[in-house]
Structure 1
């Protein structure tokens, strides 16, 4: 990309040699007169012309304003928030272009010297750019952004889950791999995630364990896709007790396993809480060198205590 503002300066040979064309002596003039003949007038030699301070110099090309705005592609609906504007040098020499100016205003105006630039706008993970040539006159450009947004939440049945219990990851499918490329992890419930239009794979994790739901969601240009992922899970309180309903032993180490022996969750305490997907599990409790076990079942939406009885032998 050619850098804006390049110019060329031509230097006369006399200046390069350090001789001013008006610096010839009177002797040089007489010699010239003798060569061209006495009947011809001698050339007039004068001192170098001096600039008149009363006459202002010709102005150089002036800076001018570039006004920018953004709309959703396929229409004229303006984007009013969530924008980040950058103005770069337009370079073709392979070097990294420098940022000339930036703004987060909805419709920014930049004062730019004559030259070529690249104006870019980002809207979340979506963006658009355009090459702009400034020639000393005000200009305006409108960039079109192909983007929409996702707004995610979770529920169990008809009960909405608290946002602090949920975390979402958003992927772009690649081929047959639904989780081909991670766009962003740790998305919060209710957060507006701005994305280029297209189809995305969303993974919702409830409670930080194995309560996971997945969905393929489409983001449409200029629209917000509001989606609720429904979990089938419950939150359980684990206890090691001497008898049913008795006080729980402190400092107990719990392990939650699948019937096949895979560890799902580990926790330590008198009554730690775990959130698990519905299904069958094995609970192991370790306390004072003793190991106790119990099988239990998780039913979606049924939050309850799971007690392990510390029986001798």
Structure 2
């Protein structure tokens, strides 16, 4: 703020001299305006360059990315980021930010943070110190992906008829620890690098195949499990090729008497592993049976004659 000062001149002589000087200045002012261009207004200095745009006052930018630990290729999708701070009372770290972006940028107060990057069932963690100038950091994750399918011979099995369970083998036990249950065919399953035991179920009875698969970091492993099974249609008929009786209760048993599958209907369909079976049909208090064989890849009708 400017302060005004007041001057007093004594005597007429001083007043007259002042008036003459003021008049001369007013006359000279237009001439000065024609000969001198006005100085451009002063501009504020440009702000210092910042590598992270949009940083708010009192905060710094934390830019993150992830790479596969094997070939160090960047991970472009499938990441879930969490930024945590440790608490002073010893309770578990508290999440302060999260993102599903491949390369997120977080605006945070300077301090120490714990980073967690999840890639499906694999993850990586790192502790960082964020300063006022910001930080760019990268996490390495030892992970790959697994895509599963099934077939009978050279014929692919429809994905809707397959489910998979994935286990981490333990010493002396191939199904030591269940990692993924009811995985679907063609689904991209992200896993830590390592060896896994795969159990494939075709249908919902006893058509099961198993295999060990190795998942490598930064790679998609595609595995196809080959089943030896077939789909059979169960029928209770009055004669060969006759119309099926509705509401029939069927039981499929092993030759030793173990129940494999039960179904009710005129012609239920059952997927069974290759082998020998006994079929029992119950209709209105009467019981009928027959033996049959399932051959891999040979879908057919199994008729029980009601006599």
- Name 1:88's counterpart in structure 2: 84
1:310 to 2:295 alignment: no
Structure 2: runs of 5 or more not aligned = 1-56
Distance 1:75 1:242 in 2: 67
Which has more radius of gyration?
Answer: 2
- Name 1:179's counterpart in structure 2: 175
Q: 8 Å contact 2:61–2:107 — kept in the other structure?
A: yes
Structure 1 residues 24-43: Cα deviation after superposition (integer angstroms, max 9, x where no partner): xxxxxxxxxxxxxxxxxxxx
Structure 1 residues 86-134: Cα deviation after superposition (integer angstroms, max 9, x where no partner): 0000346420221100000010000110211101100000000110112
Structure 1 residues 197-255: Cα deviation after superposition (integer angstroms, max 9, x where no partner): 00000000001110000000000011111000000000000000010011010000000
1:246 to 2:242 alignment: yes
Structure 1 residues 257-306: Cα deviation after superposition (integer angstroms, max 9, x where no partner): 00000000000000000000000000000000000010000000000000
Distance 1:62 1:132 in 2: 18
Aligned with residue 295 of structure 1, among 272, 291, 296? 291
Secondary structure of 2:297's counterpart equals coil
Q: How many pairs does the alignment contain?
A: 251
Aligned with residue 184 of structure 2, among 174, 183, 188? 188
Aligned with residue 235 of structure 1, among 231, 248, 252? 231
Taking structure 2 as the reference length, the TM-score comes to 0.80
- Name 1:164's counterpart in structure 2: 160
1:274 to 2:292 alignment: no
Distance 2:112 2:227 in 1: 53
Taking structure 1 as the reference length, the TM-score comes to 0.79
Aligned with residue 114 of structure 2, among 113, 118, 132? 118
Distance 1:147 1:105 in 2: 18
Aligned with residue 151 of structure 1, among 147, 153, 156? 147
Distance 1:107 1:177 in 2: 40
Aligned with residue 62 of structure 1, among 43, 48, 58? 58
Distance 2:276 2:220 in 1: 38
Distance 2:173 2:260 in 1: 25
Distance 2:74 2:266 in 1: 56
1:77 to 2:73 alignment: yes
Structure 1: runs of 5 or more not aligned = 1-60
- Name 2:21's counterpart in structure 1: none
Secondary structure of 1:300's counterpart equals coil
Q: Name the CA shift for 1:92/1:225 in 2 (closer, same or farther; >3 Å).
A: farther
Deviation of the 1:76 alpha carbon: 2.2
RMSD of Structure 2 on Structure 1 (CA): 1.0
Secondary structure of 1:229's counterpart equals strand
